[in-house]
Amino acid sequence: MKNDFSEIFSFLAPGKKLRNGIDLIISANLGALIFLTDNAEELLTKGLIQLGFVIDCDFEPERLYELAKMDGAIVLNKDATKILYANAQLNPSSDIPSFQTGMRHRTAERMAKETNEVLIAVSKRRNQVSIYQGNHSRVLYPEIIILPRLNQEIAVAQRYKQSFFELLSEINISEMENRVILSNVVEAISKGFMTLKVAEKAEKYLLELGEAAESSRLEINEINRITPRYLGALIMDYSKNLLEYQYPQDSLNLFSGLKTEDFLNMKIIAQKLGYDIETEDDLEELFVSPRGFRLLYSTKIPSIIVRNVVETFKNLDSLMKANINELINVPGIGKKRAERINRAIKRKSEFSEKLSSEMEELE
């Protein structure tokens, strides 16, 4: 099972008390072994913890720093609001495999595996903080290292997002001329998914930085708010078979199970859309038609009614030619909704013509 350490980072991010205490330990060139558990009494009974000193006081960074001057482990409650014991001896089974070299890190790894609790090892020699829980471990890097990495991932995500929406604009133009080829679609889908994949990686850094990265969090939230909706609608439009998903973003599930590198493989994306493609060259030769989902979603009409329209007109070309009376005859479409769709059709035509003219001028 994957562990993203989200719970521990909720009180281990920069500015949190536990992080402040660890920073004090590192700045003093000390080491520490910190054990977070709500099962201390049970572990004492089993002999996995051997008492040093009972502290039983509220957690403060300065107290953690002072107690780290002793050799043994410091035991906190699970949410790091109480210091329970200091100078404690941890006794995990020596039969549990560990690939760590330092005594603290080896003990932390074994204890984490045996109890599935969180342990934090601060290395005096390397000034490195490692977190262990169960069979998982992670290095806690300082803010000065994490922040540039976060900014780099956000920049990459924004570039992918820009490419995705530029390709969507090109597809909009091609749709009006009935000349969309499959390679246009799968490239756009690739950019959309890569936007989300990079944003997901950035979120891991956001987790570590906590409140220190609030402005960056807003950027990632905006990417995650907009991109899935537009990407999902594109998938709904160009999947070879009519998909049964109620909301556009749900169609992203069609690609579940793919690895990040798979989203750079145009053939795999085309096959997931339902097309029988043998080589990527085939993508350049197959013309495809949208169903009209993207246009209809823009009208804010309920998803179930959108599906009625799609099932009636089959494709965008037929929908664009529909008059008000034909739209009204669709189940769930009254005069107001028909007018709303009609306005969306006109906007698409005008916008595509404008974009086409601008691109011709650039050429």
Q: What is the rounded distance in angstroms from the CA atom of residue 128 to the CA atom of residue 229?
A: 41
pLDDT beyond 70 at 236: yes
Q: Is the pLDDT of residue 195 over 50?
A: yes
Q: Work out whether the CA dihedral 17, 18, 21, 26 comes out positive or negative.
A: negative
**DSSP for 99-139, written as a single string:** ---SHHHHHHHHHHHHH--EEEEEETTTTEEEEEETTEEEE
User: Looking at residue 167, what is its pLDDT?
Assistant: 98
Tokens matching residue 8: 């521990």
Instruction: Return the closest-CA partner of residue 106 out of 121, 128, 118.
Output: 121
Section 281-308 average pLDDT? 95
pLDDT tens-place string over residues 17-42 = 999 999 999 999 999 999 999 999 99
Give the whole-number percent of the chain exceeding pLDDT 90: 83
Q: What is the pLDDT of residue 3?
A: 60
Confidence label for 1 from pLDDT (cuts 50, 70 and 90): very low
- The yes-or-no verdict on residue 276 having pLDDT over 50 is yes
CB of 47 closer than 8 Å to CB of 87:
no
pLDDT surpassing 60 at residue 253: yes
pLDDT tens digits, residue range 321-335? 999 999 999 999 999
- Integer Cα distance of 147 and 189 in angstroms: 29
| Amino acid identity for residue 277 in this structure | I
DSSP letters of 203-219?
HHHHHHHGGGGHHHHHH
In this predicted structure, what is the pLDDT of residue 9? 86
Structural domains of the chain ordered from first start: 6-140 (3.40.1700.10), 142-290 (1.20.1260.110), 292-363 (1.10.150.20)
Report the SS3 class of residue 354: helix
Asked whether the beta carbons of 269 and 282 are under 8 A apart, the reply is no
DSSP code at position 330 = S
* Distance of alpha carbon 292 from alpha carbon 211, whole angstroms: 42
- Tokens 């976060």 belong to 150
CA-based torsion, 343, 349, 351, 354: positive or negative = negative
Residue 94: pLDDT over 60: yes
Among candidate residues 237, 276, 232, 280, the one with its CA nearest the CA of residue 253:
232
Q: Could you tell me the pLDDT band of residue 228, with boundaries at 50, 70 and 90? A: very high
Q: Is the dihedral of CA 18, 61, 129, 207 positive or negative?
A: positive
Look at residue 338 in the predicted model and tell me its pLDDT: 97
